[in-house]
Amino acid sequence: MENFPKKNWVLSPSERVKPQFLRLIVELLSMEVKNGNKQN
C-alpha cells in the first residue's frame, strides 16, 4: 500500500505526456507489424 501514493504522484505529471506516448507506442507497434509482414 506504500507504493500507491507514489504511483499517483508519478502519474499526475505524466497525464499530459500520456497521449503522445501512447501514439508513439502505437506507431512503433504498427511499424513492427509492417516489418514483420514483409519478412514473413
Number of structural domains (the chain) is 1
Residue 19 class from Cβ within 10 Å (0-12 exposed, 13-18 middle, 19+ buried)? exposed
pLDDT of residue 36 exceeding 70:
yes
The yes-or-no verdict on residue 14 having pLDDT over 90 is no
Phi/psi of residue 34, each to 5°?
-65, -45
Can you read off the three cell numbers belonging to residue 15? Answer: 497525464
pLDDT of residue 33: 87
Range of the domain at 32: 3-39
Task: Look at residue 3 in the predicted model and tell me its pLDDT.
Answer: 59
Calculate Rg over the CA atoms of the chain: 16
Supply the pLDDT for residue 22.
85
Look up residue 2 and give its three cell numbers: 506504500
- In the predicted structure, residue 35 carries a pLDDT above the cut 70: yes
CA quadruple 11, 15, 19, 20: dihedral sign: negative
Percent of the residues in the chain that have a pLDDT greater than 70, as a whole number: 55
